């Protein structure tokens, strides 16, 4: 059986033609899937019975199996899903002034090994499939449909390294962005990478308008090496050279994510170094409060210290924003819910 979400409209057209139907039928099916958000083929009442039966024999709709849900005081909602092979993944729904934003995972676990991150506590098991990536977005949209609300934004910042599952992600985003699909605007879609330079170069060569965010988190190679192993493969010089290539082909402003790790990366020296890194580049720094992870020794900055570092950057004329803390009371940081659920599973088995 094949995931029907993995088919582009053209592929679905080819399929309906292969069973002797007119290509426009594909659009009807697509509308059922993405606009009317059908959970089963039987809901597709204006599609001929023989076509429905054929669809049922070949495809399934990835409805995702919810096993846990946590709703924070600020309405950040964390969904834990169990996949068909028993693996667990998580997605997060966040509410901002400008609307709802979905944060999705791209892999089961992660191999990037960032020292501060809960996702890396459990190594990558496998890449997510197209249906599982789109399935998360569809589940969250269907959840919002109950309140007649729409997903305004999509951020690919959940568990996993998006550029380590590149082809699948790109195809999934194309379908999510398609006017016949879920129709989330490209400029409302952001991909966050730890900095796999060759993949950034590849991304630069695509004609897409998705936003690019880089998990920078350090202002020099020694510090970044100690926090993010990927830096040893692609140090800052190589990373920024790839970003410069991206900027040549794309006029989108790059987000440089910078976790505030108290006493580690929030000193005057770091501000000076960041100034050098952003100088002359179309990029801004997004300061992110750190969600503490039990197994890790890193401390988050107090609000006062976060503002102090923000001011240090402002004084140096660096474009900077301070991200609002979301879902703190439900451990909403990357990989935390999944890591906890697996710990509980192991404890009871
Ligand atoms: N692998 C990708 C995307 C997943 S991580 C990347 O590295 O960008 C998404 C973001 O959450 C990254 O910026 C990551 O560094 C950050 N992050 C990881 N653990 C965190 C934590 N405990 N608190 C806050 N942000 C965290």
Q: Is residue 334 pLDDT above 60, yes or no?
A: no
CATH number at residue 103: 3.20.20.70
Q: Is residue 290 pLDDT above 60, yes or no?
A: yes
Of all protein residues, the one whose alpha carbon is nearest to atom 24 of ligand 1 is 290
* Among 90, 132, 161, 257, the one annotated catalytic: 90
Rounded distance, CA 105 to CA 92, Å?
Answer: 9
pLDDT value for 346: 63
Residues 38-79 have pLDDT tens digits of 999 999 999 999 999 999 999 999 999 999 999 998 899 999
12 and 141, same domain (yes or no): no
* Any atom of ligand 1 within 6 Å of the Cβ of 4: no
263 and 313, same domain (yes or no): yes
Instruction: Identify whether the C-beta of residue 87 lies closer than 8 Å to the C-beta of residue 126.
Output: yes
124 and 243, same domain (yes or no): yes
Q: Which residue has the tokens 């400008």?
A: 98
68 and 41, same domain (yes or no): no
**Residues paired with 68 in a beta bridge:** 80
Instruction: Identify whether the C-beta of residue 171 lies closer than 8 Å to the C-beta of residue 177.
Output: no
Ligand 1 atom closest to the CA of 300, numbered from 1: 23
Instruction: Identify whether the C-beta of residue 27 lies closer than 8 Å to the C-beta of residue 9.
Output: yes
Q: Is residue 348 pLDDT above 70, yes or no?
A: no
* Any atom of ligand 1 within 6 Å of the Cβ of 62: no
Rounded distance, CA 270 to CA 255, Å?
Answer: 17
Residues 99-158 have pLDDT tens digits of 999 999 999 999 999 999 987 777 899 999 999 999 999 999 999 999 999 999 999 999
As given in the structure block, the two tokens for residue 15 are 């399929």
309 and 232, same domain (yes or no): yes
188 and 145, same domain (yes or no): yes
List, in order, residues 6 or more apart from 242 with CB less than 8 Å away.
197, 198, 200, 201, 204, 234
CATH number at residue 22: 1.10.150.530
Strand order in the sheet with 65-71: 65-71, 77-82, 88-96, 99-103, 151-156, 189-193, 211-215, 254-260, 283-289, 320-322
79 and 208, same domain (yes or no): yes
pLDDT value for 337: 60
Mean pLDDT computed over 219-230: 98
Q: Which residue has the tokens 């082909």?
A: 249
52 and 160, same domain (yes or no): no
207: pLDDT confidence band, cut at 50, 70 and 90? confident
Q: Is residue 321 pLDDT above 90, yes or no?
A: yes
27 and 145, same domain (yes or no): no
295: pLDDT confidence band, cut at 50, 70 and 90? confident
Residues 234-256 have pLDDT tens digits of 999 999 999 999 999 988 999 99
pLDDT value for 38: 97
Q: In percent, how much of the chain has pLDDT > 90?
A: 84
Ligand 1 atom closest to the CA of 192, numbered from 1: 8
Domain boundary pick from 45, 60, 75? 60
- Out of 157, 229, 231, mutate this one to test ligand 1's pocket (max ligand atoms within 8 Å of CB): namely 157
- Domain carrying residue 49: 2-60
pLDDT value for 97: 86
- Kindly give the distance from the C-alpha atom of residue 134 to the centroid of ligand 1, in angstroms, as a whole number: 21
- Kindly give the distance from the C-alpha atom of residue 206 to the centroid of ligand 1, in angstroms, as a whole number: 24
* Any atom of ligand 1 within 6 Å of the Cβ of 331: no
176 and 311, same domain (yes or no): yes
Mean pLDDT computed over 82-86: 96
51 and 103, same domain (yes or no): no
94 and 152, same domain (yes or no): yes
Domain boundary pick from 11, 45, 60? 60
- Kindly give the distance from the C-alpha atom of residue 157 to the centroid of ligand 1, in angstroms, as a whole number: 7
Domain boundary pick from 15, 45, 60? 60
Task: Count the domains in the chain.
Answer: 2
pLDDT value for 339: 64
Residue 310, helix vs strand vs coil: helix
């Amino acid at each position: 059986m094949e995931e029907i979400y993995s088919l582009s409209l053209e592929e679905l057209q080819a399929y309906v033609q292969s069973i002797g139907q007119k290509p426009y039928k594909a659009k009807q099916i697509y509308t059922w899937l993405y606009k009317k958000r059908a959970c089963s083929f039987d809901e597709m009442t204006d599609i001929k019975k023989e076509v429905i039966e054929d669809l049922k024999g070949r495809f399934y709709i990835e409805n995702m199996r919810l096993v846990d849900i946590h709703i924070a005081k600020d309405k950040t909602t964390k969904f834990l899903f169990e996949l068909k092979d028993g693996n667990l993944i998580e997605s997060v729904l966040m509410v901002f002034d400008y609307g709802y934003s979905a944060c999705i995972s791209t892999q089961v676990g992660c191999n990037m090994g960032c020292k501060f991150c809960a996702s890396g506590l459990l190594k990558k098991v496998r890449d997510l499939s197209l249906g599982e990536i789109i399935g998360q977005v569809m589940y969250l949209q269907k959840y919002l449909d109950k309140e007649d609300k729409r997903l305004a934004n999509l951020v690919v910042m959940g568990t996993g390294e998006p550029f380590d599952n590149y082809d699948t992600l790109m195809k999934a985003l194309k379908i999510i962005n398609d006017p016949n699909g879920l129709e989330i605007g490209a400029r409302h879609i952001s991909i966050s990478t730890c900095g796999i330079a060759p993949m950034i170069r590849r991304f630069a060569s695509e004609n897409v308008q998705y936003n690019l965010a880089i998990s920078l988190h350090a202002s020099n190679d020694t510090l970044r090496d100690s926090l993010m192993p990927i830096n040893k493969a692609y140090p800052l010089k190589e990373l920024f050279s790839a970003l410069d290539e991206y900027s040549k082909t794309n006029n989108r402003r790059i987000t440089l994510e910078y976790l505030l790790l108290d006493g580690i990366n929030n000193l005057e020296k770091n501000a000076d170094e960041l100034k050098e890194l952003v100088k002359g580049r179309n990029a801004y720094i997004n300061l992110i409060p750190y969600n503490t992870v039990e197994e890790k020794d890193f401390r988050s900055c107090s609000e006062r210290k976060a503002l102090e570092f923000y001011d240090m950057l402002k004084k140096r004329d660096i474009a900077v924003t301070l991200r609002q803390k979301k879902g703190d009371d439900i451990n909403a940081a990357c990989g935390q819910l999944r890591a906890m659920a697996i710990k509980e599973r192991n404890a009871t088995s």
